[in-house]
Amino acid sequence: MKLFGTDGVRGIANRPPITPEICVRLAQAAGLEFKRGEYQHRVAIAKDTRLSGYLIEPALTSGFLSTGMNVILMGPLPTPAVAFLTRSLRADLGVMISASHNPYTDNGIKLFGPDGLKLSDEIQTRIEERFSHLPEDFPIGADLGSAMRLDDALGRYIEFVKSTFNCRQSLDSLKIVLDCANGAAYRAAPTILWELGTEVIPIAVEPDGLNINAQCGATYPNTMRAAVLEHEAHLGIALDGDADRTIMCDACGNILDGDAILAIIAKSWQEEGRLANACVALTEMSNMALDRYLNGMGINVIRTKVGDRYISSAMRKHHLNLGSEKSGHILFGDYGILGDGLVAALQVLTVMQHTGQSLADLAACYVPFPQCQENVHIQDRDIVHTAPIQQMIASCSARLGTRGRLLVRPSGTEPVLRLMVESEDATLIQSVMDEALCALKPYMHG
């Protein structure tokens, strides 16, 4: 059974593959994959603020206990906290229950190895094979696992994030709007920024199980933007539901995506001699202008498939300490190679303090090429490989030439095709997108 997509297992909660029955079997398969050797095996489990977390957490716990693994329950925490605590607790496996930026009706399961990294395609395939061929007998009696709750998990993560702020200057001169998306960082993020000295204006910090990502957070940055302008704040920070990505906003209301945030950090690190191998890793979604901007400073770029685990893999392979996705995943090799929205925001604040420049001034150095993006709901995502669609891609690419590009890719988390047209020539973009949508129209839902 195919379970894993771009970022773990994801779907509508209480519908396959996110049902209690499947969650139990998935936990059993993952438990058997990671339960090796004759020592006390442990798995650390956290979740975001979705109502369905109460459904999925006990199902996963039951599955792991049935394999003889001990379970450490950590409650609502950001995804990067799970990666950090999996290593810190010497757990065999880490689990985050979250559908990230998706609406509350969805949920998902992200798995981390003992190194705190997301699982490779190879390990995911082995777990899927075990899922389809589980043994009939599992441990009984004293060989069953036990469960405990880790009460100081939040505090451990807060201190870790604060330790990444490598600036002696206080942040007490800054007023910051912080949008927590009613998600996993609703407690950690305001605490961290306040303890570092800022005046914090928190929004979307009252989760009720149903309002995660609802017109707030990194996927809806206009809420943050409006608050920045209303309160005349120096900047805004918007996290997504599980806080592994961030989008920022300067005092003028200009939105900074992951490309802009990486441009600020990469420039600073290159000047300090801190950027490993003078190179960064980006996905195919990052703007072409970012390559040119970085190349102009002597920084090389490695491109990967979409997904922060592919960025992480490229960073390890090429010994890099910085990578990003346009969506706001910023990965730091010095802090575990996992997207962490809070750590990313603190790195930007560090640059502001070191340079004495505003966020608007720092961001002005990088100007992206115009882009147009569309999500197309279709009956079969595999149509991207058919002759008519490949002909359309070739035609559009020829029109754009070397000054632009068309990207058509199936989403790994939703039943859609994602289209992106980018060009130095802004007048071409909408025309090319119209040609692409026209070719896809016969395959669209409805």
For 96, 349, 381, the CA distances from 237, given in Å and listed in that order, are: 23, 11, 34
322 neighbors 280 (Cβ within 8 angstroms): yes
Taking the C-alpha atoms of residue 269 and residue 266, their distance in angstroms, rounded to an integer, is: 5
Q: Residues 309, 335: contact at Cβ < 8 Å?
A: no
CA distance 67 to 29: 9
Are 227 and 202 a contacting pair, CB within 8 Å? Answer: no
Active-site residues, by number, are 100
DSSP, residue by residue, 304-356: E-SSHHHHHHHHHHHT-SEEE-TTS-EEEGGGTSSB-HHHHHHHHHHHHHHH-
- CA quadruple 419, 424, 430, 434: dihedral sign: negative
What would the DSSP string read from start to end of 250-285?
ETT--EE-HHHHHHHHHHHHHHHT-SGGGEEEEETT
DSSP state of 28: H
Question: What is the rounded distance in angstroms from the CA atom of residue 313 to the CA atom of residue 157?
Answer: 24
- Beta strands 255-256; 235-239: pairing state: unpaired
Cis peptide before 17 (omega within 30 of 0): yes
- Report phi then psi at 286, rounded to 5: -65, 150
